[in-house]
Structure 1
Amino acid sequence: MTPQSTFLIFAPIAKGRVEELRALLATMTLRPGLADPQNALVPFGRFDRLHVARLLVVEVDTWRDIQTAYGTPAEQFPAHLAFLGDIDGDRESFLAQLVELAGEGLRRIFSLCEGFRAEDDLLGWMRSKNVEEAANYVNTRGRTVLQVHEEDRLRRALAAELPAIVARIGEADGPRLHRELVAFVADEQRSGRLALTPEAPTPLGRRISGAADLIGVPLVLLMLSPVTVLAFPFLLLRLRQLERSDPEVLPRPDDTRLAWIAEFEDHDVTNPFSAAGDLKPGLFRRSATAFFLFLLGWSARHVFGRGYLTRVQSIHFARWVFFDKRRRVLFFSNYDGSLESYMDDFINKVAWGLNLVFSNGVGYPSTRFLLKGGAEQEAKFKRYLRNRHQATDVWYKAYPGLAAFDLAENTRVRRGLEKRPVGARALRHWLAGIRR
């Protein structure tokens, strides 16, 4: 299995140059927010390991909520540039490839950031500005960009050939249909018209570290359980005190701003979502956020890496990142459908999961012992989220038009080709996947 990695270059924008940077980023797009894969600055289409990427100006204005909620002065956070992506393989070699193929364009972009000089080592500067995620979710770990494209071509070729085979031998004989399709694909592979690259073995180091992580984290939690049991009543009491006293701050989102953000969305079956906000003051809330994101990251690595995040199946990639000395959190995701359906999916299926992390943000709808309330209050939760929504200036996806469902079905078609589905019903289901 090929491991996936991430990168996030996060740098303050030079004073007074935000609009200049936005104008430069706009030259990278076909429509507002939608990247031109062959744009002159960062030609995303030349990077065969890159699943999704985005560049955006992060302007956090929720710091005012701290003043409103707690009556204490809050430090304004300067506008930052975020450049992030999800890739196959390791980050180091990909950053080196970025410098090789898009060095001049990146220098033009980063020249509008504080502290970047023309003579700087570009690779070294990007390394120094890279921010590690607190938690990262991949829909299907090990599924590469190459695999996605090959399986999509396979399914399309089978769909084009199937009617001719059915016309020749009929629909009733499922096993024979399967044999005919297998023979067709073998011919296509011999002629070079189709390729199905075998899955690469997982690197030994990654297997060892993965096994250690899988076993080690539960083991440490088990060892700490006596202390946790003793501390739990006091932590629960403190949590409930904070839940009763922390105010909701849910101003009506600015309609003009929402309309402007909407211009950057709905250009594909998949959309990007970018958000940033402040954590509630105090060690308890920051520690709770760090702990729950740690558990979420572990679960995403070992439990939720096969097509679903709890019961939500529409997310391709998602990431949670601390910044500004862990006083604030960035959230990025790539999801299928509209933002409204995305929010509804989470509210209806995993509101408690949203509460565990997002309830530690300033102004969040009130919760009861974290699990109840919060995101269950639909109108309040949507208002909270929209107030933290950031416009994604440039967004790239390596396989436009393909939803997470399509990727899963294409893999199922390939596996059914390699090993015939057992039973007439399973064969019909497999053929339906080809025809869709």
Structure 2
Amino acid sequence: MSRLIYFIGSTEEAIAMQVLEAIVTDSPSRATPPTGFYNLRIRTSNAGQGTRFSDASVYLRLIDDFRNAVRTHFEFGRPRCEMVFLGDILKVSVFRAFVLDGLKGLMKYTDSIQKAFLTLMEFLHEKRKHGRSIRNLMTTIPASGNKEAKTIAALALHLFSELVADKKYEVDENVKEISRVCDCGCNARICIGNTSIGSQRTWHGSVNILVDGNIAVAVKEKTNALEEDNCTDEDEPEIKHGRIDEDVLHKDVSTTNNECILLDETYMSRFIAESVTNGFAQVNMNRDTLTNFMIPTFGATSRHVSICLYDSENDYLLHIKDILELWYPDEEGPVGELNNTTIALLWIFLNFTLFTRKHVCASVDLDKSGLHEELKEQLECYRKIKTKSCISSKTNFESVWKLFEPVVKRPKGQVQE
């Protein structure tokens, strides 16, 4: 237990027990809807065309069903999408042991699990400090600054990396205006590196953040339409929805309630493409340890977080039903503080090899996403991709055009002399 014993009987232990108890007792019988993940099916995509993440196109079955329902004025009721409860994805026994006996109940578990819980305790102990750091970075962006770069640095250093034992992460080296040192005042060095995934024959590009070497984070912020396009050439064109309200942001990042950009169709295409591609890459590189896991990918803004899970071996794709609030809303907790439930869920999936189950499909009747079937022979290209690949630049279309040898089409009935 070593350093973990110092948190026995602590406020941090009590907070974690309360939050994790709610997660463990998730069930359909609860009065409040339990946390769940939609079982997504892909209608069509351009996964087989070798496009960049910024050009990814994914058309989901649930979107198709919704549009059909709108056309018929919901004559046949609301469209349905099957959902998996969080409790069916997790190894709940370790959480039950913790809820029952606190940190003492972890004595029988591995060092890795104890280290993970220590990481959570330490984060909860320093939560206000990390929250202030993130807020400071969000509210000190100069008019000409890159909001997205600030968000990437803040979330990488003060959130995602702090919830894994090794504190290991990399920020995309192509991000424009990324600081080498954290601007919140802590002066910590920002770890910058190669976060590329995929190949020219698959979806490919660089993810904004790579945590612990295997978990991708796709960051997006609403920006002023007059500002230059966002931080890397991996990013999609400016999304049409609104911009960050600076006055509201300067009051407190937790008080805004704007439409969440993480559910925008353009962003979702990029997000699913990154989730699928990284899911394949991680299993390809760690077949003995990660096969049959649902590999998580996070979507993030300075206010919200989403989670996508993909099992590349069996082609199952899940997306969290309700976008997570990073900060407490006014009526639910201390204004301006990071949300404990969201922190716990991020911590669980950042440590997915310890806390989530393999072969979820063995106990839950999941629908395949349909991507494997769509890819056909191109599937083999996805089974070879890795991270940190040297992906060449886009093909020069003018050069390709000149390579073709023209074969003349003769008018019908004309006899060739």
Q: TM-score range by the shorter chain?
A: under 0.3
Give the structure with the larger helix fraction. Answer: 1
Q: TM-score, normalised by structure 2?
A: 0.23
Higher relative contact order (CA 8 A, sep 6+): 1
TM-score, structure 1 length as denominator? 0.22
